[in-house]
Amino acid sequence: MRLFRKNTNKIKVMALGGLNEIGKNMTVIEYKDEIIVIDAGMSFPDDEMLGVDVVIPDISYLIKNKDKIKGIFITHGHEDHIGALPYILKKINIPIYGAKLSIGLIQVKLKEHKINNAKLNVVSPRDIIKLSHMEVEFIKNNHSIPDACSIAVHTDQGIIYHTGDFKIDLTPIDGEVMDIHRICELSKKGVLLLLAESTNAEQPGSTMSEKTVGAGLDDLFRKASNSRIIVATFASNIHRLQQIINTAEKFNRKVAVSGRSMVNVVAVATELGYLNIPDNMLIDLNDISKYEDNEVVLITTGSQGEPMSALARMASAEHKKVEIKRGDLIIISAHPIPGNEKLISKVINSLFEKGAEVVYDESDIHVSGHAKQEELKLMHRLVRPKFFMPAHGEYRMLKIHAELAEELGMPSQNIFVNKTGDVLEIDRNSAKVTGTIPTGNVLV
Ligand SMILES: [Zn+2]
Ligand SMILES: [Zn+2]
């Protein structure tokens, strides 16, 4: 009697989060008796979720199949890609693979949660982790955090290429350009499925290079030659921090750092060599009053108006060490994440009321870390996948990204605008959604 084994050559691709939402990105790829996970992110709660700190994906499918899981492969160190790790590791201690800075930021996070038995593996771009039926390769890309990678999963059915978050920056601050050559090699071998992020899929054109922000900062510092300057940005945007430091150096200003995550990231990034701060430039926040206004820059968290952040506390006069005064220049070097507009505008109003000058939402002091339409099209042209599944974004972003792919000539039946939990079964000839797995929001 011959045993009929069903679906032996089908690869399953499932998102546990990140579709029809911004945040908690997590993708599961299952082939034969092996499972790999790409990213394990969190998202922030809605206004209605009172008393909730973070939202993480439901991982009951992973717990049920824990013996099959070979690892969590991290594309980069943003919270929406690593934030769920402490909660997941408490349930299943899976090995984690990521580039040096990603692992460094994960370590900070695990320490806060007192987890010290994690199996952390530092990889470099082009490294390949070999499993029995899959090989997982890291490919350098560009994003608003150093060490961001795309992930290629090699199988005997073809390659699954997950872009992770990316933009195409031909003049990145660290000179490390996306590995376009490797993408072309993979494309020649044959990419079966592309998963590409859709955050900026609604935006025409291309995202500007991070480098353009340096000139914008220089201009503002030059004009504010008598003011104290406070710059708010994302702690993890280390290239932005580097540019603030470079500009401070040009204008002979010392730098102080405010906000817990900013202090943590500056320490880790300096230690790992991602941030270069000239000797004697960094001063203690307690010492800023010892300097003239035009001798200091304060780098702070709070660019999203988060109520407990350092900038929000300065705005409401609750910060213990920094008092906003007439003539201060405050630069908000970030764009509000959808949903945060009200919070940030409240902070900006309070800062203006205290007599400060506030510069915000201007294109020369911030650029996005995500690819816009022309970059997305280029990625599709380079990868040349057979099938496509838009990733990371609200429904309209996924839908517009699908339309872009069609515009580029992909047949609509090869495009899958999936929901979290949909099971896409795929082999070298065909792809189809065959069912769902349990998913949802876990409130912590
Ligand atoms: Zn990101
Ligand atoms: Zn992201």
Mean pLDDT, consecutive 10-residue segments, the chain of 444 residues?
64 97 96 98 81 90 98 97 97 97 97 97 98 98 98 98 98 97 98 98 97 97 96 97 98 97 96 97 96 98 93 96 96 90 95 96 92 98 98 97 98 98 97 96 90
What pLDDT shows up at residue 52? 80
What pLDDT shows up at residue 338? 79
Distance from residue 249's CA to the centre of ligand 2 (Å)? 31
Distance from residue 251's CA to the centre of ligand 1 (Å)? 31
Q: How far apart are the first and last CA of the chain?
A: 52
Distance from residue 41's CA to the centre of ligand 1 (Å)? 10
Helix, strand and coil content of the chain, in percent to the nearest 5, comes to 30, 25, 45
The two domains 11-206+368-443 and 212-360 share their CATH topology (first three levels equal): no
Name 415's bridge partners: 388
Alpha-carbon gap, residue 4 to 1, rounded angstroms: 9
Helix (H) / strand (E) element for 36: namely: strand 34-38
What pLDDT shows up at residue 30? 98
Say if strands 431-436 and 422-426 run parallel, antiparallel, or are unpaired.
Answer: antiparallel
What pLDDT shows up at residue 337? 84
Cα separations in angstroms, 396 against 82, 272, 339, 393: 25, 39, 16, 8
Alpha-carbon gap, residue 391 to 162, rounded angstroms: 9
Q: Do 421 and 439 form a contact (C-beta atoms < 8 A)? A: yes
Cα separations in angstroms, 13 against 100, 180, 325, 347, 435: 27, 25, 54, 42, 11
What pLDDT shows up at residue 363? 85
Distance from residue 74's CA to the centre of ligand 1 (Å)? 11
Distance from residue 82's CA to the centre of ligand 1 (Å)? 10
Q: Decide: helix, strand or coil at residue 96.
A: strand
Alpha-carbon gap, residue 245 to 262, rounded angstroms: 14
Q: Do 294 and 228 form a contact (C-beta atoms < 8 A)? A: yes
What is the domain partition of the chain in residue ranges? 11-206+368-443, 212-360
Distance from residue 235's CA to the centre of ligand 1 (Å)? 12
Task: Choose which CATH entry (1.10.10.60, 3.40.190.10, 3.90.70.10, 3.40.50.10710) describes domain 212-360.
Answer: 3.40.50.10710
Name 282's bridge partners: 255
Distance from residue 255's CA to the centre of ligand 2 (Å)? 29
Alpha-carbon gap, residue 324 to 207, rounded angstroms: 33
What pLDDT shows up at residue 49? 74
Distance from residue 357's CA to the centre of ligand 1 (Å)? 30
Task: Choose which CATH entry (2.60.40.730, 3.90.1150.10, 1.10.10.410, 3.60.15.10) describes domain 11-206+368-443.
Answer: 3.60.15.10
Distance from residue 143's CA to the centre of ligand 1 (Å)? 7
User: Which conformational region is residue 158 in: left (phi greater than 0), alpha (psi within -120 to 50 degrees), or beta?
Assistant: left
Distance from residue 197's CA to the centre of ligand 2 (Å)? 8
Name 442's bridge partners: 56
Ligand closest to 18 (CA) is 2
